[in-house]
């Protein structure tokens, strides 16, 4: 079995359990983990930002992933702060759904960029090259 497929299955199972038995997360570790990850992901996003339009679909995917991680980390910190004042699992669950939507949109953008690159490559491979003109 593919590792990422197993990971997604574990995430889906974890989300299912959280919705059925909502237990508030510990707000301090949640916020501290989000803050640590924010520092790392923000530095990655800043490094990738200047190349995001010039490296094709793979560079775009790397940038969108880093950007989404930064946004997710900010949301996770916010969920931790809300959970301090209102002990509930819902802020964490809402953030999780938001992250899933954000990542789904990024996947759509990368898919479209990759399709466009593929179409361009096909079009250029179908055009006759100068060496095919028969002027030898």
pLDDT digits (tens, 9 = 90+) for 59-69: 888 888 999 99
Report which of 54, 61, 56, 59 is spatially closest to residue 121, judged by C-alpha positions.
56
Let me know if residue 9 belongs to a domain: no
Please count the structural domains in the chain: 1
Report which of 96, 38, 97 is spatially closest to residue 67, judged by C-alpha positions.
38
101 has a pLDDT exceeding 50: yes
Let me know if residue 131 belongs to a domain: no
Report which of 72, 87, 2, 81 is spatially closest to residue 37, judged by C-alpha positions.
72
**Over the range 22-36, which residues count as b (16 or more CB within 10 Å of their CB) and which as e?**
eebbebeebbeebee
Compare 6 and 132 and report the one with higher pLDDT. 6
Q: List all residues 6 or more positions away from 40 whose beta carbon is below 8 Å from its beta carbon.
A: none
Mean pLDDT over residues 122-129, rounded? Answer: 79
Mean pLDDT over residues 80-84, rounded? Answer: 94
Let me know if residue 127 belongs to a domain: no
Which residue segment(s) compose the domain that 114 sits in? 25-121
Let me know if residue 43 belongs to a domain: yes
Compute the distance between CA of residue 34 and CA of residue 95 in angstroms, rounded to an integer: 12
Let me know if residue 20 belongs to a domain: no
Mean pLDDT over residues 100-112, rounded? Answer: 90
Let me know if residue 16 belongs to a domain: no
Let me know if residue 10 belongs to a domain: no
1 has a pLDDT exceeding 50: no
Let me know if residue 62 belongs to a domain: yes
pTM (two decimals):
0.74
């Amino acid at each position: 079995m593919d590792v990422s497929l197993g990971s997604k299955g574990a995430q889906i199972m974890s989300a299912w359990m959280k919705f059925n038995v909502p237990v508030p997360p510990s707000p301090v570790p949640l916020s501290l983990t989000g803050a640590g990850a924010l520092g790392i992901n923000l530095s990655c996003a800043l490094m990738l930002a200047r190349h995001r339009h010039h490296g094709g679909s793979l560079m775009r995917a790397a940038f969108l992933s880093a950007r989404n991680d930064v946004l997710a980390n900010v949301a996770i910190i916010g969920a931790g702060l809300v959970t301090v004042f209102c002990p509930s699992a819902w802020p964490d669950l809402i953030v999780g759904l938001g992250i899933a939507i954000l990542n789904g949109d990024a996947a759509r953008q990368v898919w479209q960029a990759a399709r466009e690159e593929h179409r361009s490559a096909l079009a250029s491979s179908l055009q006759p090259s100068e060496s095919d003109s028969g002027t030898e």
